Structure 1
Amino acid sequence: MPLKTTAGNHGAAAKGRGATINPEGRFEKWARGETDDGWFQEPEDGPSKPKTVIAIERAKSIISRNDSPDIGFNQSLNPYRGCGIGCPYCYARPSHAYLGLSPGLDWETRLSAKTNAAEVLREELAKPGYRCETIVIGVNTDAYQPIEREHRITRSVLEVMLETRHPVGLITKSALIERDIDLLSQLARERLVNVTITVVTLDHGISRYLEPRASAPARRLLAIRRLSEAGIPVNVNVAPVIPYLTDSELESILEATAEAGARTASYTLLRLPWEVKEVFRAWLEERFPLKAAHVMSRVHEMRGGRDNDPNFGSRMKGQGLFAELLKQRFAKGLERFGLTRGDYAVDASKFTPPSRHGQARLF
């Protein structure tokens, strides 16, 4: 008899969580169904909150590499697996399927912390054949998600970057990044760091459901200001742009972040690969039912009639009339508010490899 999971495969969203469903990953051989046999009873105050479970992972390698022409860097580092911020649109959710976990609620409640990340990073940087290029932290998971307060893995990685004068980029939606201004400002003085703050919306009424455990939009603007005042270059990424839900805010986000001190900006259209389309559709129907059909209709217009376009070149910006209008609006917004297009250009010439196995170099 099918059993109902903690979150259920369908149903109302739990408070503080993004995904409203917990579908099976695409590699699973078995599928669980949901049924009501009268035994399961919701508590009187609503659905129970799924708890966050953190597994300690001892990573064997830590630097990931890609050759995508759509991304302006080749190396990245993810201190965690999964992300407690819980954005229902996150393109990285399907990676949980490789672990036998759901890209739905499991993605934001079943997390792994790579506690030896700094140690492994130092070993990889010390290899004779290592070629120094910017390493971006927080591509598949937010570098400053809530569990970073306790585990401090991102900070330990930054300490290695500063020690070796290695160029680094950071991507986050959290004001927790202010904790590391002491390290980031030192890196910035030597042109070794670029910080990206993602801003999807300035509307708290949308943000509380769209990114339930991220810093509030106003708090992110304050973080941009404080980072900029410390001399740390900040790029704002308006991502994802969601048709009919957040696309009207493009100019206001560029204006507000430029006023706060951001120097550069970029944007990405909503992407719905693999299981993300199912998670996002369920969230949309739950949170914004009157807009759901309009949002998906416009997505299809900008994605060649599909939920998702996986092709290089068009997957980040879309195609068609509305995608072109969005592109023009962004370009005019940059000019109007004194911003330039975001990049990860930093100085890689100062890199000094760490000593191998703790033994000092002879020369």
Structure 2
Amino acid sequence: MSKIAVLGSGSWGTALSIVLASNGHDVYLWGRSEEQANEINANHTNNRYLPDIKLPEGIKAVTDLNDSLEGAEAVLLVVPTKAMREVLKKVTTLIDRPLLFMHASKGIEPGTHLRVSEIIEEEIPGSQRAGVAALSGPSHAEEVSLYQPTTVTSSSSDPETAKRVQDLFMNKHFRVYTNPDLIGVEIGGSLKNIIAIGAGMTNGLGYGDNAKAALMTRGLAEITRLGMKMGANPLTFAGLSGLGDLIVTCTSVHSRNWRAGNMLGKGKSVEEVLSEMGMVVEGIRTTQAAYELARKLEVEMPITNELYEVLFNDKSPEEAVTELMGRVKKHEVEDLKLRKDDFKE
């Protein structure tokens, strides 16, 4: 079994630590809070993020990054994308050998428009990397921590790296598939958070299932359009990291992006939403990045555009819905034609 450094002690980092520790790995869970680390080590709980969940004794919490990395064979990054570079810059100064880098963070960096795997490759020299992979799919931390059946995807441009991640995580509660389409897996996992904000907003506005179904379906269409433009296989978006993740994030109260959208639909400002939630809402930052990327690549993303106006230009949710419903007539599947190569393994 392996020593694994898990960087990020929020709900998702803790839940994935439970999976790894349950598989017999030594997990060193790094976070910034001494109080939180003491609670995890003494009581085997992390009540701020996962109330009433008992953590395996194989999880050791640390606040010294070097303590987490020393002797580790793999690093699992579960920090917000806005903190990713800062953490990686520290990691690279503390390791002297190649490690497997995995991430379970979902977002795109505004400005650079880089995916998380690309940020890792920029900040960690090749001599310190034994592979880069993403873990993504429909997986609420609250349910994973209760050992409820969950299925996700391990993705890397190197098939052996994806299989190695699969071996580390897979058990009878947590099933892991592999997918070589790293672009598609990361884009699907990131952009579904945008659509989840919109889905929550429809609830806040008092709309029903028809509106939510339309938003999810057309949201998936624009995610696929952007993904294809970036080189992704469109079939990936019909899988766990696309449609699967979209469904779970747009329909569950566990989703912080859905909750944020719901509050916006009820008339709260972005500042009020963030203040009340007290947690990172990854979809807000990703909306900015996707809006910029769509304009740069000339990809039509009307839902993303309208959500950007709501989040960053004080447009009312009601006005955004009116704009979306009043657009010119369209063919449903234009720009989504599959290519022969899309069906190849």
TM-score when normalising by structure 1: 0.30
Select the structure that is richer in helix. 2
TM-score when normalising by structure 2: 0.31
